[in-house]
Chain A
Amino acid sequence: MTADIDFSPVDVLIVGAGASGATAAWNLTETKMRIVCLEQGGWTNPADYPTTGRDWETRAQSDFSINPNRRQQPGDYPVNDDESPIKIANYNGVGGGTVLYAGHYPRFHPSDFKVKSLDGVADDWPIDYGDLEPFYAENDRVTGVSGLAGDPAYPAKQSLMPPLPMGKSGQKLAEGFNQLGWHWWPSDSAIATQPYNGRDQCINLGACISGCAQGAKASTDITYWPEALRAGVELRAWCRVKEINVGEDGLASGVTYFDEEGVEQFQPAHIVIMACNGVGTPRILLNSVSEQFPNGLANSSGLVGKNLMLHPYASIQGVFDQELDGYRGPHDSIWSQEFYETGVARDFVRGFTYETTRGRGAVATAVSGAHTGRIPWGTGHHDAYRKLFNRIAGMVAICEDLPEEHNTVTLDPNIKDARGIAAPKMTYSISENSQKMLDFAVARAEEALRAAGATDIMIESPLTGGGWHLMGTARMGVDPKKSVVNEWGRSHDVKNLFIVDGSVFVTSAGVNPTRTIQTLALYITDQIKKRLTHLFD
């Protein structure tokens, strides 16, 4: 209750309790500073996850949809994505996007931090793989990562648990990759394959992206947060931040937020850390307008909200003659990074990862089959359905998106959330380079599926619902004119304001970003700890 809350100044105020906010809070606990985290959503009870009921496929498209505009839960805010071919996906609550992610958990590669030097496009990061390597390892330990050491697509890295099973689907796809002589490897996954740090092992529920009722998937509500709370961090759920306030000294003085009852509150703080993802963070910064910062906070470069990167996805699925995994098993299985690094013979730069997919549920098979004309109405329905059920497997291509200033998050002039705060608007188009990459990825995937024995191919490119990787809108760099935060995550303009989420990405790589987001949160908060005595210099 509000009456019990201590509104005296805190040392550190973190906005957002998702992947990066949880990680940042955990890493700062050893300082014994007073840390408060504000989260606009609430805790999710695993007993409420869809796989606890017979209607799990329906609920994955409604109250547990990845799209907040469809989900419309109390913690959500609207996002205008009308001017983007790729629609928003997120989760607002303790754990953030990790509650609904698949747990597909690749690292960046060394080359991903040197895009300008190697390929002459975009910009190099001001840090590199070597800087982050110890923090990757630390995050892996807390998260609990399954996989197999020795992947030739990566520098050596440890594996903490055995890989998820390949299953019938993974093995079928691996046969295709092997026929073509391509790389593939068991996916690194943030899914426990053994009991791990109080979490039970995966039991193949098959619906990772609507929440893991088993607790095997490493969402931060069950990894970082329990440890951070035990160490004294205060987490206030159902608190929606309106703006970051600044004092006459130009430093952040705290944040104004609406509590669960909708009452406006002010929480003073000495350090503010933003952890609201690549849409939520620029939204709050742009909403934080003052005389000193008329264009939004930390925005002297004009780059807050610009360079939005989304990872265009293509989905390429094959239909096989024999039964595969279907609805059984986690989404993750194996990946291929055969086309990850830039190829001189291709008409695009950079590359992508194939993340294989095991199959579909009974309802999803029927719905997609009917809507693509593969399953007719009437007497032919049942035969056609049985040719698809448990016989679909394939992959998605996660294509590296390069930063472009015209891809933006701005404030929508008309749409507001339930507290009257201006909603974000995404304006995004797929670049020529990304489109060529998508087309190439689709064509090569079709070859692999045919080699594996697929008799029919189903393509969706771009994957319209796949806007779950939100990056680049408060980029990192050493030049204040060309970046929003410096090389250790501190705002160039406001010296007690830090950003630890995917907003700071300089480039996007061709992999799922969560492992790197959390690693960066560890790196940046480690920098805070090391520089405490002169943090605001």
Chain B
Amino acid sequence: MSNTIATDSLFSSEERDALYMLVGMIVPASATYGVPGADDEVIFADILDSARANEGQIRKGIDYGMSCGLGGDLSLEQLQSELEGHPTMTPVVSLVMQCYYRDDRVMASLQMEPRAPFPKGFEVPEGDWSMLDAVQKRGKIWRDA
């Protein structure tokens, strides 16, 4: 069950618990990569907060999940087979990904600096322009008009 305390929550406690279970099912923690799951306290708080922008669609996803037994006795495998790929899950998956992949710990595991692109920017190698020699040898390819 989520430890997140939401005093201004969009969702009922049942809905929040269902969403908590759902996001952990979508992206679980990984010891291999040393990353938390989407049900991590910080990430889940971000998910709850960000859900406001698309509340209706997220609620539909939760409702569908609950109708399939989310929060009930079904195994994770059974639930996943019911829910994964269902159209109502699309907004939920997008929400989870946008919050999960901006978490400092997740970004660090991908060798990304946990920062906005601006103002530091990024390095991009120039590339080997001598590869153009073959193109130049062909000569003009545009059509006279």
Please report A residues at the B interface, Cβ cutoff 8 Å: 49, 51-58, 62, 109-111, 113-114, 117-118, 128-129, 148, 150, 152-155, 165-168, 170-171, 174-175, 177-178, 181, 183-186, 203-207, 213-214, 325, 327-329, 337-338, 340-342, 362-363, 365-367, 370-371, 373, 376-379, 381-382, 386, 389
Given the complex of chains A and B, what is the CA–CA distance between A309 and B115 in angstroms?
Answer: 40
- Say whether B143 contacts A183, CB under 8 Å: no
- Say whether A55 contacts B102, CB under 8 Å: yes
A129 interface neighbour in B33, B139, B145, Cβ under 8 Å = B145
B80 interface neighbour in A153, A171, A378, Cβ under 8 Å = A378
Q: Which residue of B lies closest to A330 (CB)?
A: B124
Within 8 A of A (CB), among B86-144: 90, 93-94, 97-98, 100-102, 107, 110, 112, 114-129, 131-132, 134-136, 138-144
Q: Which residues of A contact B139 (CB under 8 A)?
A: 152
Q: With both chains docked as a complex, state the minimum distance between the C-beta of A537 and any C-beta of chain B, in angstroms.
A: 31
- Say whether B110 contacts A389, CB under 8 Å: yes
- Say whether A165 contacts B126, CB under 8 Å: yes
B35 at interface, CB cutoff 8 A: yes
Given the complex of chains A and B, what is the CA–CA distance between A335 and B101 in angstroms?
Answer: 30
Q: Which residues of A contact B32 (CB under 8 A)?
A: 382
- Say whether B97 contacts A51, CB under 8 Å: no
Q: List 23 A-B contacts (CB under 8 A).
A: A52-B118, A54-B116, A110-B143, A113-B145, A148-B129, A152-B135, A165-B124, A166-B127, A171-B128, A178-B135, A183-B135, A183-B138, A184-B135, A203-B118, A203-B119, A362-B101, A365-B101, A366-B101, A367-B93, A367-B97, A376-B84, A377-B25, A379-B30
Q: With both chains docked as a complex, state the minimum distance between the C-beta of B20 and any C-beta of chain A, in angstroms.
A: 15
Q: Which residues of B contact A204 (CB under 8 A)?
A: 121-124
- Say whether A53 contacts B145, CB under 8 Å: no
B121 interface neighbour in A168, A178, A214, Cβ under 8 Å = A214
- Say whether B122 contacts A206, CB under 8 Å: yes
- Say whether A152 contacts B140, CB under 8 Å: yes
B68 at interface, CB cutoff 8 A: no
From DSSP, what is the main secondary structure of chain A's interface residues?
loop
- Say whether A109 contacts B142, CB under 8 Å: yes
Q: Which residue of A lies closest to B93 (CB)?
A: A370
A378 interface neighbour in B28, B85, B97, B144, Cβ under 8 Å = B28
Chain B residues bordering chain A, tally (CB within 8 A): 55
B9 at interface, CB cutoff 8 A: no
Given the complex of chains A and B, what is the CA–CA distance between A115 and B117 in angstroms?
Answer: 43
- Say whether A366 contacts B143, CB under 8 Å: no
B66 at interface, CB cutoff 8 A: no
Given the complex of chains A and B, what is the CA–CA distance between A446 and B48 in angstroms?
Answer: 40
B27 at interface, CB cutoff 8 A: yes
Given the complex of chains A and B, what is the CA–CA distance between A150 and B141 in angstroms?
Answer: 12
Instruction: Decide: A363 near B97, CB < 8 A? Known: A183-B141, A207-B117, A328-B124.
Output: yes
B101 interface neighbour in A117, A165, A363, A379, Cβ under 8 Å = A363
Q: Which residues of B contact A178 (CB under 8 A)?
A: 131, 134-135
Q: With both chains docked as a complex, state the minimum distance between the C-beta of B19 and any C-beta of chain A, in angstroms.
A: 14
- Say whether A362 contacts B112, CB under 8 Å: yes
Instruction: Decide: A51 near B27, CB < 8 A? Known: A203-B121, A382-B33.
Output: no
B5 at interface, CB cutoff 8 A: no
Q: Which residues of B contact A341 (CB under 8 A)?
A: 141-143
Q: With both chains docked as a complex, state the minimum distance between the C-beta of A300 and any C-beta of chain B, in angstroms.
A: 31
B4 at interface, CB cutoff 8 A: no
Instruction: Decide: A166 near B126, CB < 8 A? Known: A152-B140, A178-B134.
Output: yes
- Say whether A325 contacts B124, CB under 8 Å: yes
- Say whether A378 contacts B25, CB under 8 Å: yes
